[in-house]
């Protein structure tokens, strides 16, 4: 059930309506739990067992750890319980996500030494498993550390793990935020409904008008880099940077809007990342829930920046390599993570030698240049992410270098023809990108456009809703012949 499908646009109002008709919080949560499992089972009913197992293991593990702490049991026992639960949850994730990659690597070694390759097997990656596993594991670690109290009510905790707006692609929520809200009675507020509708419509615009339309050009170039060589690769990679941002950001905004309709405030997952002035700042603004998860549960336990400069750089390298592996079972994803880790290390070294007493004009120009350089670096790394394999990435880079004098990919008409779009659709995407840029610029200044809209006259608020809806219907990708584009991060 995709957010940009008719099915979801029917499902969501039913969930919200029944939710507010139920007076008791515990029954409301039970309704949301049933609805969330129904939502997940629309993908593959069998994999609901994996969702339940991740929930049950971490719930019982946290309960045991909590009781051991209350009885003043040794830390060794609590740690043993934590390790067992982590091994079960991360082991299940590893089997489904990485077994094919491991067998492929083993077979490559067998071929070199002249042995018969192992028989491989294909497992369908359960949608959302990387997200709800980290969310459940994060809760378990928080209980072990004593940061939060163990949740005794199984149904409330099960809803925390399976809450449908953020179940399949985040944000990866913390118990300190989401779990507490689920235990609090949420009264109906018209403002929440307004905010939810604005978020959902804006998310649909970002996804259906920008991401899905840009995907057609990106797919056309990356699927035939022989025909579309030279600067086509550059423009397609730039387009992919905005495609993946708008795809994932669009999902996150729709998720935030869906939760807002229920009186739940999910964390912001993106904060104008392409306006960042360094790679370090970019990662503070991109996929925030994942970045902070790795910071709190991997980087800091490794020692963070408290054990010297060399150790800090090693920790950064490990975290970004693991982040790349989390995104996909291929060397190209690991390389993408490593490249970003190297960026961070080099940026940290350079930062120590920058002057901070420059004149305002010089400082402004430097900041603008920093933003451009940061985008170029991030976009180059995206090439490895999009290529899907190391060999394909090498081929694409060599293709560009060999055909660097092919400037067709910089010409508007050539791009439009490769895109396969009429002029009016290109104009629609351009307008949507301008709207995105304005809103992101305001967000970069910590200004919420939705907050500004909410306080306007009622007629203005309705005009915004109607205008957004018409814009999505006019320039969005949909229709009888249209198969809704699955959100990119669903595959992770």
Give catalytic residues, as residue numbers: 327
- Chain centroid to Cα 479, Å, comes to 26
Instruction: Say which residues have a Cβ less than 8 Å from residue 443's Cβ, sequence separation at least 6.
Output: 271, 272, 449
- In Å, what is the CA distance from 193 to each residue of 206, 257, 301, 338, 460? 20, 9, 40, 42, 16
Task: Look up residue 234 and give its two tokens.
Answer: 């550059």
**304-315 as b/e, with b when 16 or more CB fall inside 10 Å?**
beeeeeeebbbb
Task: Look up residue 165 and give its two tokens.
Answer: 């707006």
**Contact criterion met (CB below 8 Å) for 166 and 255:** yes
Question: CA-to-CA distance for 319 and 321, rounded, in angstroms?
Answer: 6
Which one, of 210, 167, 191, lies nearest residue 37 by Cα? Answer: 167
What phi and psi, each to the nearest 5 degrees, are found at residue 189? -130, 125
- DSSP characters over 240-275: HHHHHHHHHHHHHHHHHHHHHHTT--PPP--S-GGG
């Amino acid at each position: 059930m995709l957010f940009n499908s008719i099915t979801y646009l029917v499902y969501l109002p039913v969930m919200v309506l029944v939710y507010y008709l139920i007076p008791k919080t515990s029954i409301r949560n039970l309704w949301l739990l049933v609805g969330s499992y129904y939502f997940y089972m629309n993908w593959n009913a069998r994999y609901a067992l994996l969702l339940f197992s991740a929930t049950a293991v971490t719930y019982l593990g946290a309960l045991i750890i909590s009781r051991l702490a209350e009885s003043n049991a040794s830390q060794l026992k609590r740690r043993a319980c934590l390790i067992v639960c982590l091994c079960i949850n991360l082991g299940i994730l590893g089997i489904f996500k990485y077994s094919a990659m491991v067998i492929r690597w083993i077979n490559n070694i067998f071929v070199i030494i002249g042995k018969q390759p192992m028989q491989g097997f294909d497992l369908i990656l359960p949608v959302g498993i990387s997200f709800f596993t980290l969310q459940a594991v994060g809760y378990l670690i928080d209980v072990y550390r004593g940061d939060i109290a163990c949740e005794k009510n199984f149904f409330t905790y099960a809803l925390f793990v399976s809450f449908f707006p953020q179940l399949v692609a985040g944000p990866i929520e913390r118990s300190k935020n989401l779990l507490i809200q689920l235990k609090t009675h949420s009264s109906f507020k018209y403002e929440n409904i307004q905010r939810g509708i604005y978020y959902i419509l804006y998310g649909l615009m970002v996804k259906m008008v920008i991401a899905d339309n840009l995907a057609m050009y990106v797919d056309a170039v990356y699927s035939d880099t022989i025909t579309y060589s030279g600067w086509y690769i550059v423009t397609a990679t730039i387009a992919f940077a905005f495609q993946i941002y708008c795809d994932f950001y669009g999902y996150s905004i729709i998720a935030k809007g869906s939760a807002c309709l229920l009186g739940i405030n999910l964390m912001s997952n993106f904060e104008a990342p392409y306006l960042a002035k360094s790679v370090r700042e970019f990662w503070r603004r991109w996929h925030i829930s994942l970045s902070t998860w790795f910071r709190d549960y991997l980087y800091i336990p490794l020692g963070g920046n408290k054990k010297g400069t060399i150790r800090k750089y090693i920790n950064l390298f490990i975290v970004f390599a693991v982040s790349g592996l989390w995104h996909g079972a291929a060397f190209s994803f690991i390389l993408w993570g490593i490249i970003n880790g190297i960026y961070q290390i080099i940026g940290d070294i350079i930062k120590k030698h920058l002057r901070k007493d420059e004149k305002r004009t010089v400082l402004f120009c430097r900041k603008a240049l920093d933003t451009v350089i940061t985008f170029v670096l991030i976009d180059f790394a995206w090439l490895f992410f999009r290529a899907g394999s190391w060999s394909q990435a090498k081929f694409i880079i060599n293709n560009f270098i060999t055909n660097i004098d092919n400037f067709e990919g910089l010409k508007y008409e050539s791009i439009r023809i490769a895109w396969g779009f009429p002029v009016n659709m290109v104009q629609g995407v351009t307008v949507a990108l301008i709207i995105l840029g304005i809103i992101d610029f305001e967000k970069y200044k910590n200004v919420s456009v939705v907050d500004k809209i909410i306080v306007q006259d009622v007629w203005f608020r309705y005009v915004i809703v109607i205008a957004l809806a018409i814009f999505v219907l006019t320039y969005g990708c949909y229709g009888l012949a249209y198969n809704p584009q699955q959100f990119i991060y669903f595959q992770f």
